[in-house]
Structure 1
Amino acid sequence: MEQRKLPNATAVLVLGIISIPGCCFYCVGLIFAIIALVLAKKDKALFAANPEGYDNYSTLKTGRVLAIIGLILNILALLSIIFAIATFGWAIMNDPAALQQAMQGM
């Protein structure tokens, strides 16, 4: 029997890779990580139904791990943004000079 490729394995890998640097851009990588994990779950179910029929499961696993790492980094970045807003306030976060003065006062 000829082995096929999992349909979303490459997409999961690409989305997992994009989700990691996405944490630097206002946590936009969170979206990519969630999409990658949903696609990985679907392909994992396909692989579980017929393990001998697919040959790129390692690509799927790698993409899933990268998506989990990206998810964790994005959650940490989001929490740090929320902490900064809670600590300094929204008005100071929008004014770089006031933010620098508030940080020097700490």
Structure 2
Amino acid sequence: MEQQKLPNSTLILIFGILSIITCCCYGIVGLALGIVAIVLATKATQLYITNPEAYTGYSNVKTGKVLAIIGIILSVLYLLFVIWILLVFGWDTMQDQELMQERMREFMGQ
């Protein structure tokens, strides 16, 4: 029997990489890509476990899953940071650069 590539193994790897790269897009894009990569990796892993001799590309799945987990962690941390900034300074302050600089000086105690 000829081995075939695991479905979505390259896509899982790409989504894992992109979840790390896009974690600074307010955390939302990286979080979404990471979750999709983990769901696809779980399905591919289940398929591989049922018949490991029939498939290749499992290393891409494992690497993509690890990268997706890292991307999710970074995205969640960045999202929490953005929420904290909005809670501390407010939306209006974020829109006005001079007001933001003034609030930052106050926050730093200067």
TM-score, normalization by structure 2: 0.91
Matches within 5 A, 1:6-17: 6-17=6-17
Say whether 1:3 aligns with 2:3: yes
Confirm whether residue 62 of structure 1 aligns to residue 63 of structure 2: yes
Give the corresponding residue for 1:21. 21
Query: Alignment identity in percent?
Result: 51
What secondary structure is seen at the aligned counterpart in 1 of 2:5? Answer: coil
Runs of 4+ more than 4 Å apart: none
Paired residues in the alignment total 106
**Structure 2 counterpart of 1:76:** 77
Separation of aligned partners in 2, 1:105 and 1:85: 16
Partner of 1:52: 53
1:13: Cα distance to partner? 0.3
1:13 partner letter: L
Separation in structure 1 between the aligned mates of residue 99 and residue 23 of structure 2, nearest angstrom? 25
Q: Deviations over 1:16-55 (max 9, x none)?
A: 1111111122221111111111111110110111111112
TM-score (norm 1): 0.95
Could you say what secondary structure the match of 2:56 adopts? coil
1:91 aligns with 2:83: no
Runs (5+) with no aligned partner, structure 1: none
Tell me the equivalent position of 1:30: 31
- Consecutive unaligned residues of structure 2, counting only runs of 5 or more, are none
* Alpha-carbon distance between aligned partners in 2 of 1:96 and 1:49, rounded to the nearest angstrom: 57
Once superposed, what is the RMSD of the aligned Cα atoms?
A: 0.9
1:62 maps to amino acid: T
